[in-house]
Chain A
Protein backbone atom coordinates (compact mmCIF):
# COMPACT_ATOMS: atom_id res chain seq x y z
CA UNK A 1 0.00 0.00 0.00
CA UNK A 2 2.86 2.37 0.83
CA UNK A 3 4.18 2.14 -2.74
CA UNK A 4 0.73 2.80 -4.15
CA UNK A 5 0.14 5.85 -2.00
CA UNK A 6 3.62 7.18 -2.77
CA UNK A 7 2.94 6.80 -6.48
CA UNK A 8 -0.38 8.53 -5.94
CA UNK A 9 1.32 11.38 -4.09
CA UNK A 10 3.80 11.81 -6.93
CA UNK A 11 1.00 11.84 -9.48
CA UNK A 12 -0.96 14.42 -7.51
CA UNK A 13 2.15 16.56 -7.21
CA UNK A 14 2.46 16.48 -11.02
CA UNK A 15 -1.29 17.16 -11.36
CA UNK A 16 -1.48 14.15 -13.62
CA UNK A 17 -4.83 14.55 -15.47
CA UNK A 18 -5.31 10.83 -16.14
CA UNK A 19 -4.71 10.03 -12.49
CA UNK A 20 -7.25 12.64 -11.40
CA UNK A 21 -9.85 11.33 -13.85
CA UNK A 22 -9.26 7.85 -12.53
CA UNK A 23 -9.52 8.95 -8.89
CA UNK A 24 -12.76 10.85 -9.53
CA UNK A 25 -14.24 7.70 -11.08
CA UNK A 26 -12.90 5.45 -8.36
CA UNK A 27 -14.03 7.50 -5.36
CA UNK A 28 -17.20 9.06 -6.75
CA UNK A 29 -19.58 6.85 -4.84
CA UNK A 30 -17.77 6.96 -1.53
CA UNK A 31 -17.13 10.69 -1.58
CA UNK A 32 -20.66 11.54 -2.64
CA UNK A 33 -22.11 9.25 0.02
CA UNK A 34 -19.94 10.86 2.70
CA UNK A 35 -20.89 14.38 1.57
CA UNK A 36 -24.54 13.44 1.43
CA UNK A 37 -24.47 12.28 5.05
CA UNK A 38 -22.56 15.40 6.00
CA UNK A 39 -24.72 17.96 4.22
CA UNK A 40 -28.07 16.14 4.07
CA UNK A 41 -28.61 17.78 0.70
CA UNK A 42 -28.14 16.20 -2.68
CA UNK A 43 -27.43 19.49 -4.49
CA UNK A 44 -24.99 20.65 -1.88
CA UNK A 45 -23.26 17.30 -1.80
CA UNK A 46 -22.83 17.57 -5.56
CA UNK A 47 -21.36 21.08 -5.29
CA UNK A 48 -18.97 20.01 -2.58
CA UNK A 49 -18.06 16.91 -4.54
CA UNK A 50 -16.82 19.04 -7.44
CA UNK A 51 -15.18 21.55 -5.13
CA UNK A 52 -13.35 18.78 -3.30
CA UNK A 53 -11.75 17.53 -6.49
CA UNK A 54 -10.74 21.06 -7.47
CA UNK A 55 -9.01 21.27 -4.08
CA UNK A 56 -7.36 17.90 -4.67
CA UNK A 57 -5.99 19.28 -7.93
CA UNK A 58 -4.79 22.52 -6.35
CA UNK A 59 -3.40 21.03 -3.16
CA UNK A 60 -2.35 17.61 -4.37
CA UNK A 61 1.24 18.41 -3.40
CA UNK A 62 0.14 18.41 0.25
CA UNK A 63 -0.72 14.71 0.18
CA UNK A 64 2.39 12.96 1.46
CA UNK A 65 1.40 9.38 0.67
CA UNK A 66 1.94 8.24 4.25
CA UNK A 67 -1.74 7.71 4.95
CA UNK A 68 -4.70 6.40 3.02
CA UNK A 69 -5.75 8.69 0.20
CA UNK A 70 -9.44 8.45 1.12
CA UNK A 71 -8.77 9.76 4.62
CA UNK A 72 -7.08 12.82 3.11
CA UNK A 73 -9.87 13.18 0.57
CA UNK A 74 -12.60 13.05 3.21
CA UNK A 75 -10.74 15.57 5.30
CA UNK A 76 -10.62 18.03 2.41
CA UNK A 77 -14.33 17.49 1.79
CA UNK A 78 -15.15 17.93 5.46
CA UNK A 79 -13.09 21.12 5.77
CA UNK A 80 -14.87 22.59 2.76
CA UNK A 81 -18.25 21.87 4.30
CA UNK A 82 -17.20 23.32 7.65
CA UNK A 83 -15.72 26.44 6.03
CA UNK A 84 -18.91 26.99 4.09
CA UNK A 85 -21.03 26.42 7.15
CA UNK A 86 -18.95 28.84 9.18
CA UNK A 87 -19.21 31.48 6.52
CA UNK A 88 -22.96 31.07 6.42
CA UNK A 89 -23.74 30.87 10.06
CA UNK A 90 -20.64 32.31 11.63
CA UNK A 91 -20.63 29.48 14.12
CA UNK A 92 -17.53 28.51 15.98
CA UNK A 93 -15.75 25.34 14.93
CA UNK A 94 -16.22 23.91 18.39
CA UNK A 95 -19.96 24.14 18.29
CA UNK A 96 -19.92 22.49 14.88
CA UNK A 97 -17.78 19.60 15.84
CA UNK A 98 -18.45 18.83 19.44
CA UNK A 99 -21.98 17.82 20.31
CA UNK A 100 -21.07 17.26 23.95
CA UNK A 101 -20.36 20.98 24.29
CA UNK A 102 -23.21 22.39 22.30
CA UNK A 103 -25.67 21.75 19.55
CA UNK A 104 -24.77 18.77 17.42
CA UNK A 105 -23.34 19.40 13.99
CA UNK A 106 -26.19 19.71 11.52
CA UNK A 107 -25.31 21.01 8.10
CA UNK A 108 -28.76 21.19 6.68
CA UNK A 109 -30.39 24.52 6.01
CA UNK A 110 -32.78 25.74 8.64
CA UNK A 111 -35.75 25.83 6.34
CA UNK A 112 -35.38 22.20 5.31
CA UNK A 113 -37.23 19.94 7.68
CA UNK A 114 -35.68 16.53 8.10
CA UNK A 115 -33.39 16.89 5.08
CA UNK A 116 -31.65 13.53 5.06
CA UNK A 117 -35.06 12.00 5.28
CA UNK A 118 -36.12 13.89 2.16
CA UNK A 119 -32.97 12.89 0.30
CA UNK A 120 -32.98 9.26 1.15
CA UNK A 121 -36.64 8.47 1.34
CA UNK A 122 -37.08 9.79 -2.16
CA UNK A 123 -35.51 6.53 -3.24
CA UNK A 124 -36.74 4.07 -0.68
CA UNK A 125 -38.18 4.42 2.76
CA UNK A 126 -36.35 1.66 4.51
CA UNK A 127 -35.81 1.53 8.25
CA UNK A 128 -32.17 2.48 8.10
CA UNK A 129 -32.86 5.66 6.11
CA UNK A 130 -35.32 6.93 8.65
CA UNK A 131 -33.09 5.81 11.49
CA UNK A 132 -30.07 7.67 10.19
CA UNK A 133 -32.18 10.76 9.87
CA UNK A 134 -32.79 10.67 13.60
CA UNK A 135 -29.11 10.45 14.49
CA UNK A 136 -27.10 13.68 15.02
CA UNK A 137 -24.76 14.40 12.09
CA UNK A 138 -21.57 14.00 14.15
CA UNK A 139 -22.52 10.44 15.03
CA UNK A 140 -23.77 9.71 11.55
CA UNK A 141 -20.45 10.87 10.18
CA UNK A 142 -18.30 8.56 12.29
CA UNK A 143 -20.64 5.63 11.67
CA UNK A 144 -20.27 6.15 7.93
CA UNK A 145 -16.50 6.49 8.13
CA UNK A 146 -16.11 3.42 10.33
CA UNK A 147 -18.70 0.99 9.04
CA UNK A 148 -19.19 2.03 5.42
CA UNK A 149 -15.77 3.39 4.55
CA UNK A 150 -14.08 0.98 6.94
CA UNK A 151 -11.49 3.53 8.03
CA UNK A 152 -9.41 2.80 11.11
CA UNK A 153 -9.99 4.77 14.29
CA UNK A 154 -6.81 6.77 13.84
CA UNK A 155 -7.70 7.53 10.25
CA UNK A 156 -11.08 8.81 11.36
CA UNK A 157 -9.35 10.94 13.97
CA UNK A 158 -7.24 12.34 11.14
CA UNK A 159 -10.28 13.14 9.01
CA UNK A 160 -12.04 14.82 11.93
CA UNK A 161 -8.89 16.42 13.33
CA UNK A 162 -10.13 15.17 16.68
CA UNK A 163 -8.54 13.07 19.44
CA UNK A 164 -8.93 9.30 19.30
CA UNK A 165 -10.97 9.35 22.50
CA UNK A 166 -13.51 11.67 20.86
CA UNK A 167 -13.79 9.38 17.85
CA UNK A 168 -14.38 6.36 20.09
CA UNK A 169 -16.96 8.09 22.23
CA UNK A 170 -18.84 9.30 19.15
CA UNK A 171 -18.74 5.80 17.67
CA UNK A 172 -20.14 4.23 20.84
CA UNK A 173 -22.88 6.84 21.06
CA UNK A 174 -23.55 6.60 17.34
CA UNK A 175 -23.84 2.84 17.46
CA UNK A 176 -26.18 3.06 20.41
CA UNK A 177 -28.23 5.73 18.64
CA UNK A 178 -28.40 3.71 15.44
CA UNK A 179 -29.52 0.58 17.24
CA UNK A 180 -32.04 2.57 19.26
CA UNK A 181 -33.33 4.41 16.20
CA UNK A 182 -33.71 1.20 14.25
CA UNK A 183 -35.76 -0.22 17.05
CA UNK A 184 -38.00 2.81 16.74
CA UNK A 185 -36.73 4.53 19.87
CA UNK A 186 -35.27 8.01 20.21
CA UNK A 187 -31.71 8.42 19.00
Chain B
Protein backbone atom coordinates (compact mmCIF):
# COMPACT_ATOMS: atom_id res chain seq x y z
CA UNK B 1 0.00 0.00 0.00
CA UNK B 2 1.53 3.34 -0.93
CA UNK B 3 2.45 6.19 1.38
CA UNK B 4 -0.16 8.59 -0.05
CA UNK B 5 -3.00 6.30 0.99
CA UNK B 6 -1.76 6.19 4.59
CA UNK B 7 -1.30 9.97 4.62
CA UNK B 8 -4.84 10.43 3.31
CA UNK B 9 -6.21 8.04 5.92
CA UNK B 10 -4.41 9.85 8.75
CA UNK B 11 -5.67 13.19 7.47
CA UNK B 12 -9.24 11.90 7.33
CA UNK B 13 -9.01 10.40 10.83
CA UNK B 14 -8.14 13.83 12.24
CA UNK B 15 -10.52 15.69 9.95
CA UNK B 16 -13.41 13.49 11.03
CA UNK B 17 -12.89 14.55 14.66
CA UNK B 18 -12.19 18.20 13.95
CA UNK B 19 -14.64 19.24 11.24
CA UNK B 20 -16.29 16.08 9.91
CA UNK B 21 -15.95 14.21 6.63
CA UNK B 22 -18.35 13.26 3.84
CA UNK B 23 -20.03 9.85 3.72
CA UNK B 24 -17.93 8.80 0.71
CA UNK B 25 -14.76 9.73 2.59
CA UNK B 26 -16.04 7.83 5.62
CA UNK B 27 -16.67 4.74 3.48
CA UNK B 28 -13.21 4.98 1.94
CA UNK B 29 -11.63 5.37 5.38
CA UNK B 30 -13.54 2.42 6.83
CA UNK B 31 -12.37 0.20 3.99
CA UNK B 32 -8.80 1.39 4.38
CA UNK B 33 -8.80 0.86 8.16
CA UNK B 34 -9.99 -2.72 7.68
CA UNK B 35 -7.05 -3.39 5.38
CA UNK B 36 -4.34 -1.38 7.14
CA UNK B 37 -3.44 -2.24 10.75
CA UNK B 38 -1.09 0.75 11.10
CA UNK B 39 -3.79 3.29 10.21
CA UNK B 40 -6.34 1.38 12.30
CA UNK B 41 -3.99 1.80 15.23
CA UNK B 42 -3.74 5.56 14.59
CA UNK B 43 -7.55 5.75 14.61
CA UNK B 44 -7.69 3.72 17.79
CA UNK B 45 -5.05 5.89 19.49
CA UNK B 46 -6.90 9.05 18.47
CA UNK B 47 -10.15 7.72 19.88
CA UNK B 48 -8.46 6.63 23.08
CA UNK B 49 -6.80 10.04 23.51
CA UNK B 50 -10.10 11.89 23.04
CA UNK B 51 -11.99 9.50 25.30
CA UNK B 52 -9.40 10.06 28.02
CA UNK B 53 -9.53 13.82 27.52
CA UNK B 54 -13.33 13.87 27.80
CA UNK B 55 -13.37 11.64 30.85
CA UNK B 56 -10.65 13.43 32.78
CA UNK B 57 -12.01 14.65 36.12
CA UNK B 58 -11.15 18.08 37.52
CA UNK B 59 -11.91 18.49 41.22
CA UNK B 60 -13.62 21.79 42.01
CA UNK B 61 -12.37 23.87 44.94
CA UNK B 62 -14.77 23.54 47.84
CA UNK B 63 -17.37 26.31 48.06
CA UNK B 64 -16.21 27.98 44.85
CA UNK B 65 -19.72 28.68 43.58
CA UNK B 66 -20.94 29.96 46.96
CA UNK B 67 -17.97 32.30 47.39
CA UNK B 68 -18.40 33.59 43.85
CA UNK B 69 -22.12 34.11 44.31
CA UNK B 70 -21.39 36.12 47.46
CA UNK B 71 -18.85 38.33 45.69
CA UNK B 72 -21.17 38.85 42.74
CA UNK B 73 -24.00 39.82 45.08
CA UNK B 74 -21.77 42.36 46.83
CA UNK B 75 -20.72 43.85 43.53
CA UNK B 76 -24.34 43.94 42.35
CA UNK B 77 -25.24 45.85 45.49
CA UNK B 78 -22.42 48.33 44.86
CA UNK B 79 -23.63 48.84 41.31
CA UNK B 80 -27.17 49.41 42.51
CA UNK B 81 -25.91 52.02 44.98
CA UNK B 82 -23.90 53.77 42.28
CA UNK B 83 -26.82 53.85 39.87
CA UNK B 84 -28.55 56.94 41.37
CA UNK B 85 -25.23 58.82 41.53
CA UNK B 86 -24.56 58.09 37.88
CA UNK B 87 -28.09 59.01 36.89
CA UNK B 88 -27.72 62.27 38.80
CA UNK B 89 -24.48 62.95 36.95
CA UNK B 90 -26.15 62.48 33.57
CA UNK B 91 -29.11 64.65 34.57
CA UNK B 92 -26.74 67.39 35.68
CA UNK B 93 -24.85 67.14 32.41
CA UNK B 94 -28.10 67.39 30.48
CA UNK B 95 -29.26 70.42 32.50
CA UNK B 96 -25.86 72.04 32.11
CA UNK B 97 -25.90 71.59 28.33
CA UNK B 98 -29.47 72.87 28.08
CA UNK B 99 -28.49 75.96 30.08
CA UNK B 100 -25.38 76.29 27.93
CA UNK B 101 -27.46 76.35 24.76
CA UNK B 102 -29.99 78.75 26.22
CA UNK B 103 -27.38 81.19 27.46
CA UNK B 104 -24.92 80.84 24.58
CA UNK B 105 -25.79 84.20 22.89
CA UNK B 106 -25.35 86.08 26.17
CA UNK B 107 -22.11 84.31 27.01
CA UNK B 108 -20.76 85.15 23.55
CA UNK B 109 -21.68 88.79 24.11
CA UNK B 110 -19.74 88.75 27.39
CA UNK B 111 -16.75 87.08 25.75
CA UNK B 112 -16.84 89.60 22.90
CA UNK B 113 -16.97 92.43 25.42
CA UNK B 114 -13.95 90.97 27.24
CA UNK B 115 -12.23 90.70 23.88
CA UNK B 116 -12.88 94.37 23.10
CA UNK B 117 -11.55 95.41 26.50
CA UNK B 118 -8.45 93.21 26.42
CA UNK B 119 -7.76 93.18 22.69
CA UNK B 120 -7.51 89.39 22.69
CA UNK B 121 -7.48 87.78 19.21
CA UNK B 122 -10.78 86.37 17.91
CA UNK B 123 -9.33 82.83 17.79
CA UNK B 124 -8.61 82.96 21.53
CA UNK B 125 -12.15 84.18 22.18
CA UNK B 126 -13.64 81.36 20.11
CA UNK B 127 -11.42 78.87 21.92
CA UNK B 128 -12.60 80.25 25.27
CA UNK B 129 -16.21 79.99 24.14
CA UNK B 130 -15.66 76.35 23.07
CA UNK B 131 -13.97 75.57 26.36
CA UNK B 132 -16.89 77.05 28.27
CA UNK B 133 -19.15 74.64 26.38
CA UNK B 134 -16.90 71.67 26.97
CA UNK B 135 -16.36 72.20 30.70
CA UNK B 136 -19.43 70.18 31.86
CA UNK B 137 -18.48 67.30 29.57
CA UNK B 138 -14.88 67.39 30.80
CA UNK B 139 -16.05 67.34 34.40
CA UNK B 140 -18.41 64.44 33.73
CA UNK B 141 -15.71 62.48 31.90
CA UNK B 142 -13.21 63.14 34.70
CA UNK B 143 -15.70 61.90 37.32
CA UNK B 144 -16.48 58.74 35.32
CA UNK B 145 -12.76 58.01 34.73
CA UNK B 146 -11.88 58.58 38.39
CA UNK B 147 -14.76 56.37 39.47
CA UNK B 148 -13.64 53.57 37.13
CA UNK B 149 -10.04 53.82 38.36
CA UNK B 150 -11.26 53.69 41.98
CA UNK B 151 -13.36 50.58 41.24
CA UNK B 152 -10.46 48.89 39.44
CA UNK B 153 -8.16 49.60 42.39
CA UNK B 154 -10.74 48.25 44.81
CA UNK B 155 -11.11 45.10 42.73
CA UNK B 156 -7.34 44.66 42.55
CA UNK B 157 -6.94 45.00 46.28
CA UNK B 158 -9.85 42.69 47.10
CA UNK B 159 -9.06 40.18 44.35
CA UNK B 160 -5.61 39.11 43.35
A residues whose Cβ falls under 8 Å from a Cβ of B: 15, 17, 20-21, 24-25, 28-29, 32-33, 36, 42, 46-47, 49-51, 53-54, 57-58, 84, 120, 123-124, 126-129, 131-132, 143-144, 146-148, 153, 168, 171-172, 175-176, 178-179, 182-183
Contact = CB atoms under 8 A, between A and B. Distances in A.
Most buried by A among B14, B17, B45, B49: B49
Q: Which of B60, B69, B73, B75 has the most CB of A within 10 A?
A: B69
B73 to A, nearest CB: 6
B56 A126 contact: yes
A181 to B, nearest CB: 8
A127 B48 CA distance: 11
Interface of B: 14, 17-19, 42, 45-46, 48-50, 52-54, 56-61, 64-65, 67-69, 71-73, 75-76, 79, 155, 159-160
Contact of B72 (A20, A124, A144, A183): A20
A20 B159 CA distance: 19
The B contact surface, by secondary structure, is helix
Contacts of B57: 123-124
B53 A148 contact: yes
A32 B76 CA distance: 22
B56 A57 contact: no
Contacts of A179: 42, 45-46, 49
